[in-house]
A and B are shown apart, each in its own frame.
Chain A
Amino acid sequence: MSVHFDDFDYEATLLACAAGERGAMQRLYEQEAGRLFGVVRRIVRDGALAEDVLHDACVNIWTRAASFDPARGSARGWIYSVARNLALNARRDDARDADVPHEALQAIDDQASLAAWEAVSRSDQWADSAGRVGHCLAELEPVRRDCIMYAYVEGLSQKEIAARVEAPLGTVKAWIQRSLVALRACMS
């Protein structure tokens, strides 16, 4: 996993955006657009929609940069929360809320990217690349870890996760709630 973001000063860049420095926004875009786009596209599963979301996210980051408060968390975290929120809100209602047949669900998956993360998550190094949350996730039962990953990384609804792991919806809800309790305890 590449880690060049360690060298990039996200906080200073956001502050420059807040000061109205257009070049800072462009540097941020050049630095992060690829990963942001990957994250957003996973969630909305549509390239054109993902570009709309990334566009809106960048405009939001630019116009709201002054509201970023370093005391509330990292600048990079703030950037991703803006983008992920927009992506989650842009998820297609009809596909999310209807009873999606398993086959249809698989058809709309990006199988290649899914296989990629599954390969990563099954390897020994994945927990390292994901840092502390990776180690704590590694302590969960595999199926419960998958539920968390399907939700956060793939943007699947609980109903879709239930179909994917072939477990009842109520079970998946309970797994997720318990996993959150366990993760919080593990990371505190």
Chain B
Amino acid sequence: MNQTISPSFPDDADSAQQALAGEYVLGTLTREERQAVDALLPSNPALREAVDAWQQRFLPLVSLVEPVQPSAHLWQRIERSLEQAAAASPVPAVPVRAARKALPWWRDFESLALWRGLTAGGFALATLLAALLVLKVAAPLPDTRYMVVLVAPQDKSPGWVMQTSSARKIELIPLGAMEVPADKALELWTKADEWNAPISLGLVKPGERVEVPLDRIPGVQANQLFELTLEPPTGSPTGRPTGPIHFIGRSVKVS
């Protein structure tokens, strides 16, 4: 029966927003994603509306959970806190989680298959999330045209965000700390659909914000592929990616 409903991935901003809101309510977002949504909700009525709707949709499922009585003294404890509530600060924020460890995912993936398999829709969720963040952070910048969320190929956890900071530069922003073996370096590559092979944009340091000049390529267009691969310290010896892909994503137009 469900097969009669098109199982397509979200392919537009509204669907992506619905997917994000749905996973937020479902509880399947990562901690960083949850926190990002929490931060966005007060200033994003459309997202809030989508979250509200999902909460109402799923609410009846709580009737499947058997009630369990908490210990008898809990109410007294709550009552004491209510008395102090006027002076009390809200629940403390959860600390942002630190380093993300690199996973040996590449043993299971053929690079080419991965590239082929990457659909824009598959990244809709992370892409939208980052787009929302960028729009919020960089709203006064009229020249932001494209952005990219680079995600780990295996679990699609976002690792870097890129945004065009001018027509000739793209800024690469790390979303967390990451480790690279001492004898290796991260190299940034890009490939537009009609290009035969990826072009190197140079080496980047893990966890460091960097502005990358785009003088080796015509520019950035929609759906252009970007990836970070693990290469020797001086970069790929062949001019093509030789090491495993650490993060990968495609550009989306944001303004």
Contacts and interface: CB of A to CB of B under 8 A. Distances in A.
Given A54-B74, A181-B7, 16 more contacts: A25-B82, A33-B70, A37-B67, A38-B65, A60-B91, A77-B52, A89-B31, A97-B97, A116-B66, A117-B64, A121-B64, A151-B26, A151-B28, A153-B64, A181-B8, A181-B10
B60 A133 contact: yes
Greatest chain A CB density within 10 A among B15, B18, B53, B59 is at B59
Given A51-B71, A55-B81, A86-B91, A180 B65 contact: no
B154 interface: yes
A51 B70 contact: yes
B80 to A, nearest CB: 10
Greatest chain B CB density within 10 A among A1, A73, A76, A152 is at A152
B176 to A, nearest CB: 12
Contact of B68 (A38, A85, A178): A38
B174 to A, nearest CB: 18
B68 A41 contact: yes
A37 B69 contact: yes
Given A59-B82, A181-B15, A37 B5 contact: no
A37 B78 CA distance: 14
Given A43-B27, A55-B77, A177-B10, A72 B52 contact: yes
A169 B157 CA distance: 12
Interface of B: 1-2, 5-10, 15, 18-19, 22-23, 25-28, 30-31, 34, 38, 48-49, 52-53, 55-71, 74-75, 77-79, 81-82, 85, 88, 90-91, 94, 97, 125, 154-156
A181 B70 contact: no
B8 to A, nearest CB: 7
Greatest chain A CB density within 10 A among B1, B15, B97 is at B1
Contacts of B60: 129-134
18 contacts: A29-B75, A37-B70, A51-B74, A55-B78, A56-B91, A59-B81, A59-B85, A59-B91, A63-B85, A81-B55, A93-B31, A97-B31, A130-B64, A178-B8, A180-B26, A181-B10, A182-B2, A182-B7
